[in-house]
Each structure stands twice: as structure tokens, then as C-alpha cells.
Amino acid sequence: MEDPIVPIVLILLALLAGAVEGTEFSFELPDRKSQCFFEEIEKGTKSIVDFQVISGGNFDVDIRITGPNDKELYSAQRQKYDTIEFTAELTGEHQICFSNEFSSFSHKVIYFELVVGNEPPLTEEMGTHQVALTQLETSVVKIHEALRVVHDYQTHHRLRESQGRRMAEHLNNQVQYWSLGEALLFVLVAFVQVFILRRFFAVKRTNI
């Protein structure tokens, strides 16, 4: 009798392997600078670019996507976040550029994810031909889909939390600086008032 644990292990390993498809990271983009990323994509392959500005200035950035023939596939200015889907028209190197050249002093931190192609099947049999899934395999596929949705939600909320925390820290620093400035102003006004009052009540001595 075939051990039922073996197919379960194979399916779970395939699930974990599919979970690491694509590129996902955050990077820093200084003011008056641009950063480009390059990816070899075959003709007819569907790709998804997802980005969000986490911190810096008004949380906006310019983005431009071009194909191997330098044909512009997507372009937008002052975007805070977006999800772009495109299909490669030619096989070759595609370029994804983020620009912060319009900013004179705002340093940006950007989350960026690139997914190329469709997600591979969980098992080899699913990719080669149509097969009837067992109840266990169907449950694993549903769990995989649910985990992918949960991962997307976690990424979204993690970015929103990071953005909100940075904004709260920025406001906290502004309040502290304003409070310190008010305290120094009060002390300065007090000294000026004391100095003026002393001059009003000062008695001038006259020499006889």
C-alpha cells in the first residue's frame, strides 16, 4: 500500500517553492536620484509590478517601464502606490525605473514587487495534463490560495503600518521642536520684560 504521507510532503514542498516566486524588497531612493531595475522577460509573458512609497516627502515617486526596444509600456508621475500589469511584446531586457529627481531634499523609501509569469502548478501532474484531484489535494490547493491572499493582506497592512508609524514619528518630532521653540520664546520674553521693568524703575543718580 502506498504511503499517503509521501504525496502530502511533495505537495507541501511544491507549495513552499511556489511561495518564493517573484522579487519583493524595499530600497532607498535619495533626492534628485533615480533607480532602475532590469529583468529578462520572454515575449507574451504577463508581469505585475506593485510598488508603494513608504516614507519621504509627500510619499510620491515617478515610475517608467520600458521594453527591450525602449518602447514605453507605462509611465506615471507623483504616484504614491500602484499595481501595473503588462505583457511583454518582445523577448529581452525590460527596464523599471523609479525617479525622485523632482525632489530637492526628500529621501524616499519604496516597497517594490515584481512577479513575472504565471504561478507554477503545485505538482508536475497539474502542469502536464488535466488530472482529477483527490479531496486532500483539493484542500491543499484551497489552503494555498488562501495563504497567498493572507500574504498579500499582510504585506499591505505591514506597509500601511510602517507608513503610519513614520508619519506619527515625524509629527511627534515636529511637536517636540515646536514645544521647545515656544519654551525658549517664553524665556526670552520673560527676560526682555524684566529688563524693561528694571529700566522703568531704575533711579538715575545726579552728581552735585
21-117 adopts what CATH topology? Jelly Rolls (2.60.120)
Q: What is the pLDDT of residues 20-66, one digit of tens each?
A: 446 788 899 999 999 999 999 999 899 989 898 888 888 899 999 99
Residue 8 — pLDDT band, cuts 50, 70, 90? very low
Q: What is the pLDDT of residues 117-139, one digit of tens each?
A: 866 655 555 555 555 667 777 78
Q: What is the pLDDT of residues 165-197, one digit of tens each?
A: 877 887 888 899 999 999 999 999 999 988 888
For the chain, the residue count is: 208
Please report the pLDDT score of residue 70 as a whole number.
87
The closest alpha carbon to 24, from 83, 151, 95, 112, belongs to 112
Mean pLDDT of 14-18: 43
Residue 161 — pLDDT band, cuts 50, 70, 90? confident
Residues 53, 54, 58, 63, Cα dihedral to 10°: -10
Please report the pLDDT score of residue 148 as a whole number.
75
The closest alpha carbon to 63, from 85, 46, 78, belongs to 78
Sign of CA dihedral 105, 172, 188, 193: positive
Using DSSP bridges, classify how beta strands 61-66 and 92-99 pair: parallel, antiparallel or unpaired.
antiparallel
Q: What is the pTM of this model?
A: 0.61
The residue ranges of every structural domain in the chain are: 21-117, 133-203
Please report the pLDDT score of residue 147 as a whole number.
84
Residue 15 — pLDDT band, cuts 50, 70, 90? very low
